[in-house]
Structure 1
Amino acid sequence: MKQFSILLLCLVISTSIFSQKIITTLVPPAGLNDSISHWEKKNKITFSISEILFVNWNAGGVSSISGLMRTQFNRNYSNENTRWANELIMRYGLNKQDGIELRKTEDAFQFSSTFGYRENEKSHWYHSAKFNFNTQFTDGFKYPNTDISVSGPFAPAYSFLGVGAEYASDKKDRLFYFSPFTSKVTFVGNQRLADGGSFGVPKAIYDDEGVLVQHGKKFKSELGTLITAYYKKQIAKNINLENRLSLYSDYINKYGNVDIDYDLVLDLVVNQYVRTNIGIHVVYDDDIKSKDEINGEQVTVGPKTQLKQVLGVGMTYTF
């Protein structure tokens, strides 16, 4: 936990310094008539906590406490026909129940950057290039087994790089991106997981006696079609709905078999600092094989639809 705290602090500080350097470089000095910044920045930090305590409670129950931290940094550049959008999202959550070790409930590092150019200011369509990178901070486990990790930092990590066309509304509350040529690279930095073929990388080769002949590869490259969509709407006063969808299909490996990543967040604003969030995250990836606990051992089974639901009330600071 100490290592994670230091890493998170370094990421926040470096992101802030980096963004300030970019703005200082590109914005003309103060005092000039044309000193107009084309950069728009937004920083949001949210921390939510939930706790339940039982003392001599006849109906029974388990005391627990949970915490979730979410940070979102946006740096967007817009000048006539050019648009460059950058977003960094980091999430980390922990849960502690009475009599049970500390467990991770959320862990994500997501960075995306999209550069686009349109032919005229009336058009909503941009010729665009998009880069996405996703990974996590700490090891993940199939609880209650905490001896063998099933994931970790850069195990996996995903990068997407491609070119295509993007539609952006005037308020940037509706975005649609289509790329017929997107490279997807899956990284598995943990050799043990790579040897097992986790997350779709080529697994290790053994001879008939079980002796290792060749280690599994730590990466897998694909080329396919990527479609992403973003939609944000105020459905009522102080109630905002945000949707993110990503669809990817590889040309070579079972084209038409689509990887799905859908994230929905309902944001209920109490006041400037207090908010309630209801979130649903759905993931399906044919390369990710589920692991079940059978007779005390972890057994790899087929791919399954992954579902996560989050409800939290916490403090939000935007600057």
Structure 2
Amino acid sequence: MKIKLLALIFLITTSNSIASDFKYVAVTDTVATVPKDTTNTDSMMMYWTEKNTFGVNMSEVAFVNWNSGGNNSISALFYANFERNFKRDHTLWKNSASLRYGINAQEGREVRKTEDEIRVKSSFGYRQDSTSNWYYSGRFSFNTQFSNGYKYPDTEKAISKFMAPGYTFLGAGTEFSHPEDDLTIYLSPITFKSTFVLDQRLADEGMFGVTPAVKDELGNIIEEGENLRTEFGFLVTSDFSKEVFDNVNFNNQLSLYSDYLNKFGNVDVDWQMNLNMKVNDFIKANVGSHIRYDDDVKFKEDTDGDGTLETSGPRVQLKQMLGVGVVYEF
């Protein structure tokens, strides 16, 4: 009996010891962690600069028993600008996007569009040494609009739409960039310009320079108009900014393009001038003008009063702007 009891005690003690050993192994089985090296990521971020701007300009007129008469109206211009620039040693990469949309609501008539723009730019440059202001450069730009455009008061038939037109420029050349004077001049003898008219009705009419539809004697379409026009030419652009007075900044942007293959010397012009006045960190005023001329852009107007828009030749386009609003930058 004593032998059986001693044997039982021995078995219990041995099993507890074995179990204890297994538990110890399980607890001590750990996974090693390697610290993440963020040195390269941080060093690359120091070469990037960014700027974001959101703003709205508003104006409002209201009348109550006003003897001189007038219609209540309200206007608003919403805009956003984004910049992402990279500069390191001999390399310079600049990216920007601009979005603008303006509306006007007046008593007794429909809401009308006053401004509409989508514009994206990207340029990459490389210079031979760190003291030179000249870069070997390549550039891409794209612009179109958000919504339909009309020849008011006619809102039945659009004269422009999203990607009708849409423009892209892709080229290579040289760029002079002077950071202290905030002056950039770009010269590109090799630039491809593409004009997109993705609305088939506008393409059939030959709007914005695309080849129109081929029609028979009865006006039936035999062959649809083309949706794309390509050009190869010379592009010159300049961008200049300067603080002319305290909190008053002047900006001038000019673009000149001429097609080698079609009427070389006939220049397309896109010229913007803006005077930005800072009231405080959140209130700003803006005065500006925008001039355009494109020989391929034909205008529509009712010349004979029959209610139908006839197509006429190209004209100088002019837009003037004056606004005061709220701006947030970060």
> Matches of 2:188 and 2:322 in 1, distance apart?
34
Among 312, 318, 325, the residue aligned to 1:307: 318
SS at match of 2:66: coil
Distance 1:45 1:74 in 2: 12
Structure 1 counterpart of 2:300:
291
The answer to whether the 8 Å contact 2:256/2:269 transfers is yes
Number of matched pairs:
291
Q: Deviations over 1:128-148 (max 9, x none)?
A: 000000000000001010000
Paired with 2:139 and 2:284, the residues of 1 have a C-alpha distance of 31
Counterpart Cα distance in 2 of 1:178 and 1:55? 56
- The answer to whether the 8 A contact 1:127-1:166 is kept is yes
Q: State the Cα distance separating 1:181 from its structure 2 match.
A: 0.7
Q: Is the 8 A contact 2:241 2:252 kept in 1?
A: yes
Equivalent residue, structure 1, for 2:40: 28
* CA 306–35 in structure 1, closer or farther in 2 if over 3 Å, else same: closer
1:177-218 C-alpha deviation (Å, 9 max, x unpaired): 000010000000100000000000000001122221100000
Q: CA deviation at 1:173?
A: 1.3
SS at match of 2:159: strand
The structure 1 residue matched to 2:177, chosen from 157, 163, 168, is: 168
1:141 aligns with 2:153: no
Q: Which sits farther off after the overlay, 203-212 or 270-279?
A: 203-212
Query: Which residue number in structure 2 is paired with residue 111 of structure 1?
Result: 120
SS of the residue corresponding to residue 297 of structure 1 reads: coil
Q: Tell which structure's C-alpha radius of gyration is larger.
A: 2
Structure 2 residues without counterparts, runs of 5 or longer: 1-37
Aligned-pair CA distance for 1:299:
1.1
Q: Deviations over 1:7-30 (max 9, x none)?
A: xxxxxxxxxxxxxxxxxxx98345
Tell me, what secondary structure is at the counterpart of 1:240?
strand
Contact 1:27–1:37 (CA<8 Å) still a contact in 2? no
Contact 1:95 1:105 (C-alpha < 8 Å) held by counterparts: yes
Which amino acid in the other structure matches residue 286 of structure 1?
D
Gaps (5+ residues) in structure 1?
A: 1-25
Instruction: Report the Cα offset of residue 292 of structure 1.
Output: 1.3
Aligned mates of 1:315, 1:42 — CA distance in 2 = 17
Distance 1:210 1:27, change over 3 A: farther
Counterpart secondary structure, 1:199? helix
The residue aligned with 2:60 is 51
Residue aligning to 2:261: 252
Kindly indicate whether the alpha-carbon contact (under 8 Å) linking 2:181 and 2:242 is maintained by their aligned counterparts in 1.
Answer: no
Aligned AA (1:303): P
For normalisation by structure 2, the TM-score amounts to: 0.86
For residues 267-303 of structure 1, what are the alpha-carbon distances to aligned partners after superposition, in whole Å with 9 as ceiling and x for unaligned? 0100000000011000000000111123122111110
Contact 1:108 1:137 in 2 (8 A): yes
Is 1:276 aligned to residue 285 of structure 2?
yes
- Could you say which residue in structure 2 is the equivalent of 1:316? 327
Q: Which deviations, in whole Å up to 9, do the C-alpha atoms of 1:221-263 show, x marking residues without a partner?
A: 0000000000001010110001111000000110000000001
State how far apart, in whole Å, the 1-side matches of 2:186 and 2:44 are: 32
Asked if structure 1 preserves the Cα contact closer than 8 Å seen for 2:190 and 2:233, the reply is yes
Q: Deviations over 1:92-135 (max 9, x none)?
A: 00000110100000000000000000000110000000000000
2:272 aligned residue: 263
Question: Deviating runs (4+, > 6 A) in structure 1?
Answer: none
TM-score (norm 1): 0.89
The amino acid of 2:154's aligned partner reads: N
The CA RMSD measured in Å over matched residues stands at 1.3
Deviation sequence 1:63-111 (CA, Å, 0-9, x none): 1100001110000000010000000000000000110100000000000
1:237 maps onto 2:256 in alignment = no
Residues 199 and 36 (structure 1), Cα distance of their counterparts in 2 relative to 1, 3 Å cut? closer
- Identify the residue that residue 195 of structure 1 maps to in structure 2: 204
Structure 1 contact 113–132 (Cα < 8 Å) conserved: yes
